[in-house]
Structures are given as C-alpha cells and as structure tokens.
Amino acid sequence: MSNRLNISFLGKKLNNPIMTASGCFGYGLEYKDYFNPNELGAAVLKGITMEPRNGNPGTRIAETPSGMLNSVGLENPGIEEFKKIIPSIKKELNIPLVANINGKILEEYIAIAKEVEQIEEIEMVELNISCPNVKDGGMAFGANPEMARLVTREVRKVLSKPMIVKLSPNVTNIVEIAKIVEEEGANGVALINTLLGMAVDIRKRKPILGNIMGGLSGPAVKPVALRMIYQVSQAVSIPVLGMGGISSTEDAIEFIMVGASAISLGTGMFANPTLPIEIKKGLEKYCIENNIDNISEIVGAAHPDGGAAYRSRLGGNNEIKG
C-alpha cells in the first residue's frame, strides 16, 4: 500500500482518513472478526460518561427509508470501567484511539475531560455536545451557541489532548456554532451527529421507539451532512471529520470533496461489516486513477475555489507528502 492515504489529522499521523463513528464501533474490537481494526486510520470509541448509564428503554432501533433511528441514550459502563478496559484494547489496536465524552451538566463534561486527560492510551477526544437521545446535556449544549461556547471553553481548560467537537445538525446555523467552538480552542469539528426524528407503528398506533424520538442516520441524512460540511469547511480553519450516511467509496470521496479531512463510518457498517476495507481500497484506487499523490489534495475540491483557500488555512496540516 502506498502512502497516498496517509494524513496528518489534529497533529496525529493516520494511515488513512477512515475512522469509525462513535456508538457504531463499540470499544474497538467488536468488528475484529470481520476486518483488522488496525486497518483504520483511528477508532472513535463508544461515548462515555462519568457514571454508568443504562440508556433509554426499548425499543431503541427503527429502520426508516434509507436510514435508521436509534434512541440508545448513551448506555455505557462509566469512566472507571472504561479506564480498566482501555489498556487491553490498546494491546490489540496500534492506531489512535479517540474517546467520545459526554455530560449532563457542564461540571460532568469538565470532570470526564480531566479523567480522559490522564488516560495515556487515548490520543484524541471527541467532545459530544450533540447527542439527541439524552434529556439533559447532549444536544442541549450543541444546539445553543453560548452553551457550546461555554462547554468547549471549560473543557479546553482541562484538556491538552487534541479535541474534536461533535456538532449537532439540529440547528438553524451550523456555521455559527462551528466558528464558536473553533474560537474556544477546538482542534477539529465532527459533523454531523444524527438528526432528530421519529417513526410510528401504525398497528399499535404509537411511536416505535421507547423514547419516542431518536437520531436519524444512514444514507437518508447524507445530503444534509454534505451541505453542512461544505458550509462549515469554508468558514473555519480547522479540519472537519465528516460523517452521515457514508456507505461507499463514492460517498467517502464526496465527503472529502466538500471539505472533510477524515471520515467516520457508522450505520453503513451495520449492513456491510467490511465497509472500511472496501473504502480504503476504493480511495487508493481512486487516487491512482486520478494521479492524486495524497488524498488530502482533494479536501474541499468541490468548494467554489476548488478548496485552495481552505487547504491553505489548514496549512497542509492534514497532509503527509509521500
């Protein structure tokens, strides 16, 4: 394999720009029967909170046209258990591990950031201010510009590791919030998290999900994700981790061309557990066929200026010349 797919992302060297979406890849080893997780660029682990959470009541999953709804609600074993399992995960994964951190209140975000700061196996942090499935915290922070500012600022104070802020698409002006978190020290932004939606069981005459509403993901949300990444990447100077319905190499290239420096796979892996490997091979082939020395050359290629301004602002930060 050449180094056409090598990138630098938030100062970390990644073998390729393919990552996993939090909540879709467990704690890193669940898919190892289907592909070697070390083939990924990095692994974003399932979201954690300070205390263990049981999540929302069932039913938690509903399929929708070209998509799915989930209302898992951040079920997780809590930070203490997370700290116990991370060393064994790191023994098998020699790619950067990204912790996705969550809180109900500001103080919980700060407390968990302090904990994760101490975990040496964690190289990057994804600050989740956009989960639509928790009553408190989550999207409440991501949908309010000043709350987004506050949580990013306060977490930044206690976290020296590279930090990606995962934004909610359930807002009127995503660009405003992206610029705010950049101002407050985010090293990157991840978008999009799921769109708030619902589905109804017409036989029972009630919502399918136990939590009534859930987060919509899958190919159905791809156009929204592309639009938001396109808008945000033209307004910020930090890398975008793009996600939202990627299920093929062509999808991945679209995301990169609208401005994503790296991509995350989620729902697409449920239908196709070997999707990361297919996309990795597909991107390599695409680069060869189009005389692209490094995949980062086409970040933002669909911008009006071909992405030159954005790539210049990134400062070649996500490119490693071969």
Partner 1 sequence: MFLEDVKVIENIQIADNYYLMRVEGTKIPQHSKPGQFFMLQCKDNSKVLRRPISLHNVDGNILEFYYEALGKGTKEFTRLSIGETINIQGPLGNGYDTDLKGKNIVVIGGGMGMAPIKYLIKDLKDNNDITFIGGGRNAGAVKIIEKFDFKNIQLKVATDDGSVGIKGNTVDILKKILKDENKNIDIIYTCGPHPMMEAVAKVAQENNIRCQISLEERMACGIKACVGCSILTKKGMKKVCYDGPVFESTDIVDVDVVDPNGGCK
Place of tokens 């698409």: 169
Site for partner 1 in 235-264 (CB under 8 A): 247
Least distance from C-beta 155 to partner 1, angstroms?
A: 24
Site for partner 1 in 66-125 (CB under 8 A): 66-68, 70, 72, 75
| Residue 287 among the catalytic residues | no
Span from 1-9, 50-58, 111-119, 120-128 in contact with partner 1 (CB under 8 A): 50-58
Q: Which of 267, 294, 317, 318 binds partner 1 (CB under 8 A)?
A: 267
> 116 and 101 in contact (C-beta within 8 Å)?
yes
- The Cα 218–Cα 245 span in angstroms is 4
From 299, 298, 272, 295, select the one nearest 285 (Cα to Cα).
295
Closer of 188 and 215 to partner 1 (Cβ): 215
- The Cα 49–Cα 108 span in angstroms is 8
User: Between helices 222-233 and 249-258, what is the axis angle to 10°?
Assistant: 30
Does 34 sit near partner 1 (CB under 8 A)? yes
Q: Which of 18, 24, 151, 181 binds partner 1 (CB under 8 A)?
A: 24
Sequence letter at residue 120 = E
Question: How many chain residues are in contact with partner 1, going by CB under 8 A?
Answer: 38
Closer of 185 and 273 to partner 1 (Cβ): 273
Least distance from C-beta 231 to partner 1, angstroms?
A: 26
Sequence letter at residue 69 = L
Closer of 169 and 214 to partner 1 (Cβ): 214
Closer of 130 and 267 to partner 1 (Cβ): 267
Tell me the DSSP string of 244-285. SS--SHHHHHHHHHHTEEEEEE-HHHHH-TTHHHHHHHHHHH
Q: Which of 54, 94, 172, 291 binds partner 1 (CB under 8 A)?
A: 54
- The Cα 83–Cα 77 span in angstroms is 10
Q: Which residues of 162-185 are buried (b: 16+ CB within 10 A; e: fewer)?
A: bbbbbbbbbbeebeebbbbbbebe
Pairing of strands 260-265, 18-20: parallel
> 318 and 1 in contact (C-beta within 8 Å)?
no
Q: Which of 271, 285, 288, 308 binds partner 1 (CB under 8 A)?
A: 271
Site for partner 1 in 163-222 (CB under 8 A): 204, 210, 218-219
Of 5, 19, 131, 221, which residue is the catalytic one? 131
The residue ranges that bind partner 1 (CB under 8 A) are 23-26, 30-31, 33-34, 46, 54-55, 57-63, 65-68, 70, 72, 75, 204, 210, 218-219, 247, 267-274
Q: Which residues are catalytic?
A: 131
